[in-house]
Structure 1
């Protein structure tokens, strides 16, 4: 019997990929090509890994893209907590290696758009407006702002612990503000 995630990977339905992994199948495949270059076929014990590279990448992306508990990942991937934890940590390390090896790669570079690009993004937004008052309000808009609270491990230092504590969420988080251009790319993070 195959896992739910294997079914999604084999089905290759764009909406399922976007909802669960945050990527369409083509973008997933592009990242998978880089991921496979670093993903070891065998575990440290010499035995074959429990997850193929595509399952490992799916696990990491699902972990990063969704607020999901380890127990739920175990059910979705059909694996033990230890396997999920080891694979997730390895996958996160691999993604960091990929991104750090080519920090200026246009596929993941975060850069504020040039004035001409802002105009193109504004035209994209205005092309989807129906009413005159929308056009007036959206004139000059090239992107959108959103916030993200990433859960982190509780820091050991009391001052650092206090700095990252979010009373509203009752936990420790690294809070981010992101600006997205109208093509869905991130152009600024704080």
Structure 2
């Protein structure tokens, strides 16, 4: 498997809820080979991104915030003080065998297990802030 194929495999795995056997059909490999390259690809991606300064998540300084506000207000004049947008992402998890762990990630509305993440994006598409494994909240009344 080439480096490009390995990256594509990791990205496809991150966006799909299907088994590795399905990814094997897409990438022309057996499930064991897919699992091996997923493990390798994820580790390599984390190692590369952790050393790249452009991949770090960090808040902009006040001067940069003004520039981001200007770029948004030039296109949308009514949003003069806005400099970023926020979006959420639910990542599906395998259910734990321990009930106290399983209960922390169970979503009764969708009947599945998730980790909730919130990301803040700049107009350039960079992630400038994030919360990983955000606690859920449900009204009981």
Which position in structure 1 is the counterpart of 2:24? 74
Which position in structure 1 is the counterpart of 2:137? none
Which position in structure 2 is the counterpart of 1:91? 41
Tell me how far 1:157 sits from its aligned partner: 2.6
Give the structure with the larger helix fraction. Answer: 1
Give the structure with the larger strand fraction. Answer: 2
8 Å Cα contact 2:17/2:92 also seen in 1: no
Q: Unaligned 5+ residue runs, structure 1?
A: 1-50, 130-134
In 2, Cα distance between equivalents of 1:155 and 1:109 = 31
Which position in structure 1 is the counterpart of 2:134? none
Q: TM-score, normalised by structure 1?
A: 0.62
Q: How many residues align?
A: 130
Divergent runs of 4+, >4 A: none
Counterparts of 1:134-145 in structure 2, within 5 Å, are 135-136=77-78, 138-145=79-86
| 1:57 correspondence with 2:7 | yes
Match of 2:87 among 128, 143, 146: 146
Q: TM-score, normalised by structure 2?
A: 0.81
In 1, Cα distance between equivalents of 2:47 and 2:53 = 16
State the Cα deviation string for residues 91-115 of structure 1 (Å, max 9, x = none). 1122223334x2xx32210011111
